[in-house]
Structure 1
Amino acid sequence: MPASVLPDVHIPAVSIYESVFGALSEEDLAAVAIIDGVTGAETSFGQLRGQIDALAGALAVRGVELGTVVGLLCPNVPAFATVFHGILRAGGTVTTINSLYTAGEIENQLRDSGATWLFTVSPFLPAAEAAAAAVGIPPERLVVLDGADGHPSLRELLGADERPPELHFDPATQIAVLPYSSGTTGHPKGVMLTHTNLVANVAQGMGAIGVERGERVLAVLPFFHIYGLTVLLNYALTLRAVLVTMPRFELPEFLRITSEHRCNWLFIAPPIAVALAKHPLVDDYDLSSVTVVFSGAAPLAGALAHAVAARLGCTVAQGYGMTEASPATHVIPNTRPDIDRSSVGLALPNTQSRVVDPETGADVDVPEAGPSLPGELWVRGPQVMAGYLGNAAATAETLDADGWLHTGDLATVDATGVYWIVDRLKELIKYKGYQVAPAVLEAVLLENPGIADAAVIGVSDEDGQEIPQAFVVLQQGASLSEGEVIAFVASRVAPHEKVRRVRFVSAIPKSSAGKILRRELREHS
């Protein structure tokens, strides 16, 4: 079933700036665009566009032009929106940098992307200065948003009151963003996303996701990650929703901001869903404003989705995507309560999908009832990247000559066009010839009320055979033995899928986007 069951939408051939801010009405200009969740400070759409234009003018005067690559190392604060869109408005390309990166990792990304400017905040300045110096970015092109001696500040650049430049470029070929893949399965690569890629993905999600004008959207997922960048920053602003920013996830602050600012939409990753379903602190806050919890970045178990929905009295949905697809390719539409919550829903408009047998290369047969056998998910659409920066070999491995993006994820599909993500193709455990999906076992483990979090990897037994090993974080006050955990899983899965070993740990290592860092688990197994 290559074509989406959702009707195609119009994708305008414009820049991101024009797409988000080009049609602001008088009513829009006065409306609140962003609320600082920590301080409560509000920024209107008119103020935001004015700041973006002023920054674009200041950067253009200082030499930023079409194709200039600018690094952005910044947490989720309102100024992120000004800087990100200001760079694009000046013609630059933004490479967003993980806020948790070390100086060496920042240096690697700046060097690989060819960045000649860097924007950051004072808490990140020591690492930013070291990285900038190593790649030859001078102090006058290292902008510290909140100010630091020897560096320009955002206030200084905005105060220059320069006019934004007149630009003419093809949005289908002009690279807007260079996010880097997480590196959990290999060396990070710069993903070339054009203006059209990002504009398309917002247009594709407009009706399918369901956020409406004036609704309050909590922005806790990092803007530097493509999920936060597209689905929160660009999507919410385009729809004239209100973004409520949060610089980092801490459960008490997350709950406070959601409650005090009456957030309607919570875009999260599965680790936050675990907390919402299981943590006792949730009961101390009024979360009655929440209407939708939308999960992405990693598979969300159906039982966990239902647990969150029941506790908060809201709708829980999820979607699927990857950095290379800007990122969204599949979602459960907010208008489709009938779709299984463990699925990732339907392919977005203008998106084609295939489930391909990795052994034969043939499309997997779709039965009349129930999901198909698993295969690798391939997608094609206007949101798919232009390629990896300076890496033709990696591009060819992922993006074939016909434009199909080979996701590396195993999926199943049914006759109605609903897709389920089974696991990463490379993370499947081969137990005595049987394929065991870690995500399936993790979902089962999280059904245990005594387990707060869990991850599963393949390890070698005494005979050198691969077996599933679980890493388990217990709920506070809970007591479970290895045998009890093994028995719990065994009662719910096929014999070959049973967990064979259990290690109790204090935390599961995860990326800032919520993906389990299995490589770190393997290093300590």
Structure 2
Amino acid sequence: MVFRSSFPDVDIPTQPVHELIFRGLAEKADRPALIDGITGMTITYGEFAAAVDRLGAALAERGVRKGDVIGVFAPNTPGYAITLHGILRAGAVATTANALYTAEEVAGQLTDAGAKALFTVSGFLDRATAAAKLAGITDVYVFDKADGHVSLSDLLASTAPAPSISFDTAEDLAVLPYSSGTTGRAKGVMLTHRALVANIVQTDAMMDTSNIGRVLAVLPFFHIYGMQVTLNHALAIGATVVTMPKFDLAEFLRVIAEHRTDRVYIAPPVAVALAKHPMVDSYDLSAMKVLFSGAAPLDEELAEAVHKRLGCKIKQGYGMTEMSPVSHTIPDDRDDIAIGTVGLILPNMENKVVDLATGEELGVGERGELWCNGPNVMKGYLNNPEATAATLDSDGYLHTGDVAVIDENGVVSIVDRVKELIKYKGYQVPPAELEALLLTHPQIADAAVIGVRDAEGEEVPKAFVVTQADAAMTADDVMTFVADRVAPHKKVRVVEFLDAIPKSASGKILRKDLRAREAAK
């Protein structure tokens, strides 16, 4: 059975993303587009459009051509938005790296993406320059100022003519974020201009866009949720985006109170603080009309606790990087839909629920893997036809790796996970990557990683380790080894030593057996 969106299809403009966000520029030219939540520095839409044009010209002047890949490795600032769209204005493709990555992790992404230059900030230069060297990149630009590096302001001073680029929006890539998909190592997700534009206009139908004035952007722009939902969509509807470089509860509350942000996007761990931390009562959060949670499941009781404390609407959605990213959400005007669900299918999309064992298409109320089709679905994984074929079928359906149920009203609930990916505070942690790293330790003979729940209900990586016969390792030794080599969200937080890792006859790790072991405790 095919489940179709209950919303009528929307028209998808044949514009590149950077043009879509400047629609109606004459009417909003003097309106604030970007505000630095820390310093208060403000950029109007007119200034923003001019900066994007100048950066596109400067990059073209420096030899950047259509289809070239440019890396961005930085925290959220107004400069990030200028850089992202300046890259697109030059006809290039932006690959955005996690701000928490080590130099080696950034280098791996830049190398895989074939990046030709890198933008960063002075505070990240130690990692950025090391990564660039490993990836064979010589051009490292900074948003701010740093000796020996061309700055964003230097580039914006270019007097070169803006390039004339002809876009095939259905084929030309706009961004190349990296995602672990349903399992395994991170892969470059090829998202076209059309996919991003489609998702922006699809989400319009689910929101009261006339009632959105200021959007808080604390979710990182390197992540598709932050890039598309908090930045691009907000800009496309003419809202003001207030940026924060990282989450800090006191600063988060201050920025909401002082800048009167009316729509705030979060991941579930922030909801815990909003529900429980006494500091919340010290700030005026009355401007906040909608608190929207994504990136991981939001507990219904927790959502209700936040609603009772703050009085704002609490909404939830679902998506993947591979879907640009939103596929389902609870509309602003549908308070009748339970927050524990992910809401309704977006316009222009179709879903299937498929039996995991037989591949049979299921019906209303039946539980199976969720498959999604629509104009916002990725083109595929970069240089990885095998992974693409395993995730995207010949009919265009993306196999999400999540188990869902769709009720008689078209409301979708995610009830389980097929995929092995661990979601720690909204960040993706691929078990295979940690397992490969653990096996590089000379005292570790074998290893497996799964997600387990900690005391606060958060999913965290747990490593099962088999040591060499003469080894004398402790759990702390294992955790330190991993922590020294990965971004903080990928740290192993629990270790158990085993005599052997359970495996199938073909040698595949039987993570279901390890999960059963945990459940029996």
Q: What's the counterpart of residue 378 of structure 1? A: 371
Q: Choose the corresponding residue for 1:426, options 419, 424, 436.
A: 419
Q: What's the counterpart of residue 479 of structure 1? A: none
Rounded to whole Å, the distance in 2 between the matches of 1:524 and 1:10 is 53
Aligned 8 A contact 1:219 1:244 in 2 = yes
Rounded to whole Å, the distance in 2 between the matches of 1:212 and 1:309 is 22
Rounded to whole Å, the distance in 1 between the matches of 2:22 and 2:116 is 27
Pairwise CA distance, 1:524: 5.8
User: Which segments of 5 or more consecutive residues in structure 2 lack a partner in the other structure?
Assistant: 425-430, 432-449, 458-481, 498-521
Tell me whether 1:124 sits opposite 2:96 in the alignment: no
Tell me how large the CA RMSD over aligned residues is: 2.7
Pairwise CA distance, 1:85: 0.2
Rounded to whole Å, the distance in 2 between the matches of 1:184 and 1:252 is 35
Q: What's the counterpart of residue 111 of structure 1? A: 111
Rate the CA distance shift 1:178–1:28 in 2: closer, same or farther, 3 A: same
Aligned 8 A contact 2:195 2:378 in 1 = yes
Aligned 8 A contact 1:266 1:294 in 2 = yes
1:21 partner SS: coil
Query: What TM-score, normalized by structure 2, do the two folds share?
Result: 0.82
Aligned 8 A contact 1:36 1:78 in 2 = yes
Rounded to whole Å, the distance in 1 between the matches of 2:363 and 2:85 is 44
Question: Mapping of 1:125-524 within 5 angstroms?
Answer: 125-138=125-138, 141-182=139-180, 185-212=183-210, 215-366=213-364, 372-426=365-419, 470-473=453-456, 520-521=492-493, 523=495
Deviations 1:72-118 (A, max 9, x none): 00111001110000000000000000000000001100000000010
Query: Please, which moves more after superposition, 15-24 or 103-112?
Result: 15-24
Aligned 8 A contact 2:212 2:263 in 1 = no
2:39 partner SS: coil
Pairwise CA distance, 1:165: 0.6
Tell me whether 1:102 sits opposite 2:102 in the alignment: yes
Aligned 8 A contact 1:213 1:239 in 2 = no
1:236 partner SS: helix
Aligned 8 A contact 1:330 1:347 in 2 = yes
Aligned 8 A contact 2:107 2:134 in 1 = yes
Pairwise CA distance, 1:238: 0.4
Rate the CA distance shift 1:58–1:426 in 2: closer, same or farther, 3 A: closer
Rounded to whole Å, the distance in 2 between the matches of 1:390 and 1:112 is 9
Deviations 1:143-186 (A, max 9, x none): 01112111110111111232311111201000110000158942
Tell me how many residue pairs correspond in the alignment: 449
Rate the CA distance shift 1:61–1:516 in 2: closer, same or farther, 3 A: closer
Query: What TM-score, normalized by structure 1, do the two folds share?
Result: 0.81
- Identity rate of aligned residues, in percent? 52
Rounded to whole Å, the distance in 1 between the matches of 2:127 and 2:259 is 33
Aligned 8 A contact 2:316 2:342 in 1 = yes
Tell me whether 1:61 sits opposite 2:61 in the alignment: yes
Aligned 8 A contact 1:69 1:116 in 2 = yes
Q: What's the counterpart of residue 461 of structure 2? A: none
Aligned 8 A contact 2:372 2:398 in 1 = yes
User: Which segments of 5 or more consecutive residues in structure 1 lack a partner in the other structure?
Assistant: 367-371, 429-437, 443-456, 458-466, 475-508
Pairwise CA distance, 1:243: 0.5
Rounded to whole Å, the distance in 1 between the matches of 2:327 and 2:495 is 32
2:378 partner SS: coil
Rounded to whole Å, the distance in 1 between the matches of 2:409 and 2:494 is 38
Rate the CA distance shift 1:54–1:426 in 2: closer, same or farther, 3 A: closer
